[in-house]
Amino acid sequence: MDALEYFKNLKPEDWDKPVTEKWRVKDVLSHLVGWEREVAVELPKYFETKVNPWFMETDDYSDFNRRIQGEFSGHSPEALLAELAKWGKVRDTEIERLGEANIRKMPHMDWIFDEGAEPHFDHHIAQVRSALSPN
């Protein structure tokens, strides 16, 4: 699922609807922007150092989530969509520069392509869909 297209099609009244106890729809988008940025930044670092990104070494993302929610709290949905598009392009440029085949040869690189049993972006889009669906 293309997250950018999904969120672009939301109605203005959707952005403040609760998704979880802590997050509204806009907060979910902020979270995804933060992750897209982390992947874009960490990919070239990983290829240089072969040191796993911090998010591959933990199961506790609460500090990251709080920081990202605070960082983007003043952004409009349109600004967040622009950020998501920008960081997606940065990630795609890095994938092209490094070579997708080269990346896929390395173990445990599904974080770059958001693949696996339950892709991260798909998980959060499903949460938003559920929150926005009539009961």
Report the candidate in 104, 37, 112, 111 with the shortest Cα–Cα distance to residue 68: 37
Could you give the 3-state DSSP secondary structure of residue 70? helix
The runs of H, that is alpha helices, within the chain are 3-8, 25-49, 62-71, 77-98, 100-105, 110-113, 120-132
pLDDT of residue 32: 96
pLDDT of residue 1: 54
- Confirm whether pTM is higher than 0.75: yes
Percent with pLDDT over 70 in the chain = 99
What gap in Å lies between CA 59 and CA 80, rounded to an integer? 25
| pLDDT digit string, tens, across residues 55-113 | 989 889 999 999 999 999 999 999 999 999 999 999 999 999 999 999 999 888 888 98
Give every CB contact of residue 131 below 8 A, 6+ residues apart in sequence: 17, 18, 19, 25
